[in-house]
Amino acid sequence: MTHYVFLYISDIIMLHMPTLTKENTETKHREDLKKVCHMAYKNGLVSGFDGNFSLKLDNGNILITPKGSHKGLIDEEDFVVVDLDGNILPVGKDMPWHVPSSDLLIHLAAYKKRPDINSFVHAHPPKVISLTVCGIDFNEPVLPDSIVQLGEVAFIPFPGPDRDEELKLTVSALEKHDVIILDRHGAVAVGKDIYDAFYKAELLEHTAEILFNAHTIGNIKTLEPKLIEELIKYRHRTFGRDVEAREGSQLFQNLKQAFKIKNLFKKLFENSSPVFQRILNLVKELLQTAIQNTKYSEQLSLEEKEQLSRELTASILSMLLGRFTKKS
């Protein structure tokens, strides 16, 4: 079964790899960047003036979307060329002059941090942002192709209006990750070319939509830790040693630990073990102490306090059973 899953994933990866000719001139890059901007707008990854996109030209300079540009209407001549220090470079006499995106600094910092990347996509995918608003962890290991193609996705908490802090956190996360979710803001994806970065952002939103639907329908059935490890190894075999060296092999460790804790509680509750009985007694004692120290308890009789303690204990155990004994 695992073999067929890997073959399926391999087919997807090959379909997502565009065949680029040797004609990697600035004109070709402008056409590619325009195409990606239009696709991002059409597919709902950005809304109008949201987001910013860039790619690295053959001479090392950066081609980036201008400030205040509508991604669905942008044209080849609208893009701005800057060097890695952010200096705006002259363009052809027939081309309009524009100011680069207000997020230029984060693009430049990313290219300096990761010399291996040639593109940077910053989008505002709605389903991804919705997951952050709801506090849902995107890295729930449920889709094999997302694990293989995206790896572990970094998450940056909302830093408030401090853009410098967001820049610092994003660039730091790029050290090990190609895809980053920005809490209540959007997402960043980098790649070997502009199509590669765009496909990652697109897959991120597609995965978020599946997670969104799954959480709406019912319980999430995650992959077993052993299969996750196989998928990670397959990712590293597919994309090479450089990716493995950057990411390391210990991906999804927090989720694996949570999986172990979930199974532990499952066994405790199912077997009514002595450990479970001690947990039950501890919960009762804590609740009785809490009730005793509230002003509300002064109005209750001893019998009413016992009844309240039993009801609260039942509620807590119900929540624990619901949280840790769901099928996964």
Q: What is the DSSP string of 246-294?
A: HH-S-TTHHHHHHHHHHHHHHHHHHHT-HHHHHHHHHHHHHHHHHHHTS
Same-domain check for residues 185 and 279: no
Does 135 reside within a domain? yes
- Say if 305 falls within a structural domain: yes
Q: Tell me the Cα Rg of the chain.
A: 25
In a domain, 278, yes or no: yes
What does the pLDDT read at residue 301?
73
Residue 23: pLDDT above 50? Answer: no
Identify whether residues 47 and 102 lie together within a single domain: yes
Is the pLDDT score of 17 beyond 70?
Answer: no
Q: What is the pLDDT of residue 35?
A: 98
What mean pLDDT comes out for the span 253-282? 56
- Max Cα separation, the chain? 89
* 9 and 86 inside one domain: yes
Q: Please check whether residues 57 and 204 belong to one and the same domain.
A: yes
Calpha distance 45→39 (Å, rounded): 8
What is the C-alpha to C-alpha distance for residues 50 and 122, in angstroms, rounded to an integer? 9
Query: Is the same domain home to 265 and 174?
Result: no
Reported residue count of the chain is 328
Confidence of residue 293 (pLDDT cuts 50, 70, 90): confident
Give 191-223 as a 3 state SS string: ECCHHHHHHHHHHHHHHHHHHHHHHHHCCCCCC
Same domain, 147 and 205: yes
What percentage of the chain reaches a pLDDT higher than 90? 53
Q: What is the pLDDT of residues 171-216, one digit of tens each?
A: 999 999 999 999 999 999 999 999 999 999 999 999 999 999 998 8
* pLDDT for residue 147 is more than 90: yes
Whether the full predicted model's pTM is greater than 0.85, yes or no, is no
The domain that holds 210 is classified in CATH as 3.40.225.10
Q: Tell me: do 169 and 290 sit in the same domain.
A: no
Which residues are within 8 A (CB) of 93 and not within 5 positions of it... i.e. 6 or more apart?
none
Question: Same structural domain for residues 148 and 271?
Answer: no
The percent of residues above 70 in pLDDT, for the chain, comes to 73
179 and 266 in a single domain? The answer is: no
> Residue 100: helix, strand or coil by DSSP?
strand
Q: Which helix (H) or strand (E) holds 179?
A: strand 179-182
User: Do the domain assignments include residue 260?
Assistant: yes
205 and 271 fall within a common domain:
no
In a domain, 173, yes or no: yes
Q: Are 56 and 72 in contact (CB under 8 A)?
A: no
**Of the residues 221, 246, 276, the one at which a domain ends:** 221
Distance CA 192, CA 196 (A): 6
* pLDDT in the model for residue 285: 74
* Residue that terminates a domain, selected from 166, 196, 221: 221
Report yes or no: 127 and 208 within 8 Å, Cβ to Cβ. yes
Same domain? For 217 and 260 the reply is no
pLDDT of residue 250: 67
Residue 30 lies in a domain: yes
Three-state DSSP class for residue 76:
helix
Q: What is the mean pLDDT of residues 52-81?
A: 96
pLDDT over 90 at 292, yes or no: no
For the cut 70, the answer to whether the pLDDT of residue 96 exceeds it is: no
Decide which of 122 and 276 is more confident: 122
Is the model more confident about 25 or about 319?
A: 25
pLDDT number for residue 204:
97
Q: Which residue has the higher pLDDT, 250 or 217?
A: 217
| Three-class DSSP category at 122 | strand
Q: Residue 146: pLDDT above 50?
A: yes
pLDDT at 112 over 80: yes
Could you tell me if residue 307 is inside a domain? yes
Cα(85)–Cα(105) distance, integer angstroms: 9
With CA atoms as reference, report the closest residue to 146 among 173, 116, 179.
179
Q: Show which of 175, 205, 221 is a domain's final residue.
A: 221
Question: Average pLDDT for residues 307-313, to the nearest whole number?
Answer: 71
Q: Region 84-111: what's the mean pLDDT?
A: 88
Distances from the Cα of 274 to the Cα of 192, 271, 283, 313, 326, angstroms? 56, 9, 14, 17, 22
Does 8 map to a domain?
yes
As for how many domains the chain has, the answer is 2
pLDDT over threshold 80, residue 308: no
CB atoms within 10 A of CB 162: 11
264 and 157, same domain (yes or no): no
Q: pLDDT category, 251, cuts 50, 70, 90? A: confident
Flag the least confident range among 22-26, 268-272, 281-285.
268-272
Q: Identify the CA nearest to 158 among candidates 146, 170, 140, 144.
A: 170
Local confidence band at 323 (pLDDT 50, 70, 90 cut-offs): low
14: pLDDT strictly greater than 80: no
What's the pLDDT score for residue 25? 87
Average pLDDT over residues 291-312: 70
**pLDDT band at 276, cuts 50/70/90?**
low
Least confident of 49-53, 158-162, 166-170, 304-308: 304-308
Give the range of the structural domain holding residue 286, as residue numbers without chain letter: 256-324
Mean pLDDT throughout 143-169?
92
* Tokens linked to 90: 């002259």
- Specify the residue for token string 């009514």: 272
75 pLDDT exceeds 80? yes
Identity (one letter) of the amino acid at 323? R
